[in-house]
Structure formats: C-alpha cells, structure tokens
Amino acid sequence: MKHHSIIASIAAAFLAPFASFADALENPRIVPFDSDATTGISSNKTYTHAVDFGTVQHEKPLTINGVEFFTTTAVTMPGDKTPRGHGWEGFPHAVNHPDPEKTMLVIATPKGESVRDLLLGHTWSLVNKYMYVKDLKPGFEYEIRFFNRVYGGGHKRGNTFVFKPDGDDPGAKGDMITFNQDDQSVKDNMLVYRYRAGASGKLAIYVECWDTVYTWHCYGFTNEEISKNIVAKNIKITGSSDAFINADVYPAGIETTVRAYWGATDRGESPEGWDGESDANGVFTKNTTLAIPVDKLEPAKTYVFRLSASNANSTTWSKPVRFTPKN
C-alpha cells in the first residue's frame, strides 16, 4: 500500500491498450477553509455528488455558492442515489446528537456562511470498513472533498483513509492519509483527493478509525467531475533524430483520433504554425498507450511537442513537452 501515487510515463515503442488506468492524480491532503469562498464549491463546476449528512432539517435545500446539496437524514442504503443519478454506499449509518448547537463553539466558520450549515449535522459509527462513491465514468477525472470540523469534548478522532480508484479489488493499490478530525489547530477543513476512475466506475474508500467509540464524523461531501472530454497525458519523447512521442490517451468510449505537433516554438492549442505534425494511426475508443514516430529532427535543437485528441464532442490539447535530440 502506498502513501502517494505518481502516474508513470510510459515509453513503449509500440501501440497497446492498458487494462488498469485508475490512479491518483494528486495525493490525499487536508485543506482548511473558513468561508463559502474558500471551500472551492462553485456552480461553474460539474458535480456527481453534493451530499449533506445528518439530522438537521434546513428550511430550504442547503445551497453553497449556487450548488444545491442533497440532504439525507436516514440510514444510507446501497440503492441510494443523488438527484444527479449517482450512488453511494457504506457511509456511516448513525445520525448525530439531536442538538448540534451544543458543539457550535468549535466551528471556525462564522455565522452567515452557508457551509456552516453543512457542518451542523453528521452521521457517524463507521469502524474499519469500506465506503463507495458509485456510477462514475471509467477513465474520467474526479475530485472528492469530505468536509470536516472539530467536534470537541477532548476526543481524538484519528482516522486512516485509503482511497482506491480501482474499487475494492484486493490487488488494487491504495493512496493513504492519516489525520485527527479533532485537531484543534486545523479547525474546519476538507479531505481532498483527485483521481481517475477505474473500470468499475466506483471509488472505494477504506476508513480505519483509531477508536471504535469516537469514530469519524461525516458531515457531507462533494465529488466533482474534472474532465468531461478525452485527454492525452504522460507524454515522453524517446530517441534522437528519429524519435517516438509516447503518451496515454483516455477516449472514455468515444471514437477518438490523435495528432502530434512539434516545432521550435510553442504554438499553443492551435494546429497552425508548427514545423511538423503526424497522426497516430487508428481510431481509439479504449484507454491506450501509444507511440507516434517522428523523424528528421535536428540534433542539439530543442523542440516543443503537443498532442491534440479529438472526438465528436470536442478537441483537447496536452501541455507542451520539450525535447532536445542528442548529437
């Protein structure tokens, strides 16, 4: 089991599909917040889940920065889905104490901020088990955010979270973080994890609580869809004057073509003005590691490379990669 994950660049000089494309895009981390503005929640983003847990009944649906949350006060069941049609399973089943005002003094976010209402109610009683965020699109990028606060009472709600984008496959690797939810120095915070969903379309989250009585409190969470289009990533150039552009492509089931561009200067996300260009032979629908041949590069000259990946919906461009052939 690993504490962090780095997506490795693949330098194969051949074309081949790869079976497992789930991975961490950023390490799990704790991010503090103290207002609606610092939560990162935005109506300009696309969410599969925006869930508010607990017994607190709001006068109207909880809305933060234009994003409406689904409030649930009942035990979560395997068939539960958000209004957006995405499921979750295995979350804490016990509801919070009836009077959240008793612990209001430890909420750092001031009154008047909508996210403060998210922190009033919670569910709990989760001990060493899996939770699942479901109905995700394989190959797409997501970011999940769990909202936390100090509960008080002198307790130490220590937890270890293991995120597994491949689901709960015993062979799947996990990305781990350990933190104390009652750490007074952190106050209100988010546990943030960015990942690429695996073939199961399910993110598995294993939670290990240090104490079987004072367990993790789940106030609410969001799961943001980061990429809605195909992407070309992990680009690496190998060779010399005759080289290969190696990259991973994630078509997400849509027929996709890929084209490489290179030149002495970066022409940005435009097919115009490059010194050379070349197609990756074929139309791709599955996540693929490919190698596009490039020839007649000048030794000791630095080139800028970009890939574009296009389908019926859109065209996306990679970030620039620089390469200098050896003499």
Q: Is 206 helix (H, G, I), strand (E, B) or coil?
A: strand
Question: Looking at 72-81, 137-146, 148-157, which range is the least confident one?
Answer: 72-81
Q: Which residue has the higher pLDDT, 283 or 61?
A: 283
DSSP 117: H
Whether 40 and 131 map to the same domain: the answer is: yes
Whether 58 and 198 map to the same domain: the answer is: yes
Whether 221 and 238 map to the same domain: the answer is: no
Which structural domain, as residue segments, surrounds residue 270? 231-323
Task: Say how far apart CA 11 and CA 7 lie, in whole Å.
Answer: 13
Whether 170 and 310 map to the same domain: the answer is: no
Instruction: Kindly report the pTM of this predicted structure.
Output: 0.69
Instruction: Give the total number of structural domains in the chain.
Output: 2
Whether 132 and 219 map to the same domain: the answer is: yes
Mean pLDDT of the chain: 81
Calculated CA dihedral for residues 214, 219, 225, 226, nearest 10 degrees = -70
Whether 32 and 154 map to the same domain: the answer is: yes
Q: Between the CA of residue 217 and those of 119, 168, 174, 203, 320, what are the distances in Å?
A: 10, 22, 22, 19, 43
Whether 315 and 201 map to the same domain: the answer is: no
Q: Would 281 be classed as within a structural domain?
A: yes
Whether 214 and 280 map to the same domain: the answer is: no
DSSP 256: B
Tell me the pLDDT tens digit for each residue of 63-76. Answer: 999 999 988 765 55
pLDDT at residue 100, rounded to an integer: 54
Tell me the pLDDT tens digit for each residue of 160-196. Answer: 999 999 887 666 678 999 999 888 888 899 999 999 8
